[in-house]
Amino acid sequence: MLIADVLLSGLTLGGMYALIAMGLTLQYGVARIMNLSYGEFLIAACFAAYVMMTGAAIDPLLGLVLALPAAFAVNWAVYRVLLLPLVRRAKSAGALEVDSILATFGLLFVVQGILLAIFGGAYFSYSYLSVPVTVIGSTVAANRLLALGFAAAIGGALALALARTRAGTALRALAADPVAAQLVAIDVRAMAAFAFALGGALVAAAGVLVSMFLTFNAAMGVVFTMKALIVVIMGGVGDLRGCLAAGLLLGLAEAAVARLVDPGLTLAVTYAIFLAVLLVRPTGLFGRKAA
Amino acid sequence: MTQAAFARAAAGCAALAGAASLPLFGDGYHMALAINIANYTVLATAWALFSGPTRYISLCTVAFFGIGAYTVAVLGELMAWPLVLAVAGAIGVALALVVGLSTLRLSGIYFVIFSFGLAELVRQLVTWFEVNVSRSVGRYVFLDVTQQAIYLQLVALAAVVFLVAWAIRRSRLGLALRIIGDDETVAQHCGIDAARAKLALFAVSALFMTLAGAIMAPRWTYIDPVIAFNPVMSFQVVIMALLGGPGRLFGPLLGVVPLAFLFDILSAQFPNHATLVLGLVFMAIVYALPDGVAGMLARRRRAGAAS
């Protein structure tokens, strides 16, 4: 069943894209850091899951429980140590954007360099729940479905937390207007660090889930950063619904092209969609007018 | 022409003559190092030509460089050399116009994001084309070009880049770009067509990067998309220009020379840790030298003159 094949692989892929982009939308939309090293942290989480699985026989799902707080702590430290000085030095939002792009571009190569020094450039993968499951006449690996389920659960929990909790409200206020957020007694720097760290924890979760079915190597992070950025821009910066819609759109488009045209052209499709959105609606599907 | 300007022009000519006479003395290793430096001088100066005044960080140098190299790999044996260079340059400019037209009208961040993945996109497209149309992914470049000839072409290209950069800085276009870099809204109120000015400069900068790639191609004998579109090159160009100081004409050159030596040592002695050290150096520059060496020297001089 061709349509079921495309739909299913598109949805599993799109769900992962949405999850990957959620962390970035927090980091860029709320903490205002354009993080070009984002994908490297995803790959680092892939390697962490690999080491835990092959070295200590720790189930990736249990690994998820370990990876989330660890990634939160690491990203919080990255924000406090590396990025806060830039926030302090920046005279304007534009200056911070340029500085954070440059600093995280350097960080990209630092993280990639560490991974290369430890693991080398070879491809890695491990086998976990790679049994076929048949859904509406199309076959898919169980680990992909499991990852999709977890992605949906994590995304749902995040959306609920943002909508219902006090911290979530503060984050949304910060995304809407950092100056006005200060006026209602929100500690902007602490919340920005929190948002950045939360985004880091989300991308680590995505990395652990992706590692269950993906063959990865140390140099692959850039592609993930790229796709996350495109999903974030397409959906509208700082908007979770946008992430979901844009992620699914991208996943479906890529699956359709990979299945019907040529798997070598998926990145071209990503770019074509990105360009189309930029030309028609530069603020993204759900974006408000840029400030 | 004032006396100072004349002296500067004379010094420039002398430096050019010195650089061009280098092949008379150096052996193979020094020649390779000199080619490397000349290549990065062209790339970093061309990068700073656009990204210096506008402050639009371009992360896609290697996309243009690779296109130049690949054009030579495909057409090198079919046409005369100047014609090959012209075709390569035309392709590079065409790509720059397409990218610029779609992203430079919007805020800078879209351009950065687009440029971040552009090399990867071009690499994928070239690979797809090679697999499906020409049925082979690697190509051999058998051109009878000596190291000396490559070096001299690069030095000539560098001289042209410096001249063009110098001329643009003094032109209305250069002034317009500096205003855009300071505040784009102000620029638009002054009646500057910001999108067109950015587009023009991006195309000029891309042209030089493409030509550098085309001239460098015969050095490799074997080219495949992974070699031609190596993302580390985009990164090195940015770090060199930033170390030297992208706001000044000879700023990038100040960054190219020390870093070319550093990268040479790194890739020979610590190949496994090169990426890591590069990243650390880059971050150190971003934090410690936001204006680069040239900016720091200028500040020192001003402070010295004031006291």
pLDDT in tens, B137-162: 778 877 777 888 888 888 899 999 99
Write the CATH number for A29: 1.10.3470
Classify residue B135 as left (phi > 0), alpha (psi -120 to 50) or beta.
Answer: left
Is A226's pLDDT higher than 90? no
Chain A to chain B, count of Cβ pairs less than 8 Å apart?
115
Rounded to an integer, what distance in angstroms lies between the CA atom of residue B268 and that of residue B239? 20
* Average pLDDT over chain A, rounded to an integer: 83
List Cα–Cα distances, A178 to A3, A171, A182, in angstroms: 45, 10, 7
Question: Higher-confidence residue: A76 or A270?
Answer: A76
The predicted structure's pLDDT at residue B93: 93
Is B255 inside any structural domain? no
**A109–B275 C-beta distance less than 8 A:** yes
Burial (CB < 10 A; 0-12, 13-18, 19+), residue B2, is exposed
ipTM of the complex: 0.77
Is A291's pLDDT higher than 50? no
Is A138's pLDDT higher than 80? no
Mean pLDDT score, B25-48: 85
Q: Which of B97, B103, B113, B285 to mutate to test the interface with A (most CBs of A within 10 A)?
A: B113
Burial (CB < 10 A; 0-12, 13-18, 19+), residue A83, is buried
**A278 and chain B in contact, CB less than 8 A:** yes
Enclosing domain of residue B34:
18-238
CB B283 within 8 A of CB A107: yes
Q: What is the pTM of this model?
A: 0.83
Is A291 inside any structural domain? no
Q: How many independent structural domains does chain B possess?
A: 1
Q: How many independent structural domains does chain A possess?
A: 1
Amino acid found at A252:
L
Is B10 inside any structural domain? no
Report the gap between the CA of B272 and the closest CA in chain A (Å): 5
Is B60 inside any structural domain? yes
Is A290 inside any structural domain? no
- Assign A159 a pLDDT band (cuts: 50, 70, 90): confident
- Assign A76 a pLDDT band (cuts: 50, 70, 90): very high
Is A285 inside any structural domain? no
Closest partner residue to A99 among B131, B277, B286, by Cβ?
B286
Is A130's pLDDT higher than 70? no
Is B50's pLDDT higher than 60? yes
Is B27 inside any structural domain? yes
Q: Which residue of A has its CA nearest to B242?
A: A102
Is B253 inside any structural domain? no
Enclosing domain of residue A124:
2-280
Q: Which of B133, B282, B291 to mutate to test the interface with A (most CBs of A within 10 A)?
A: B282
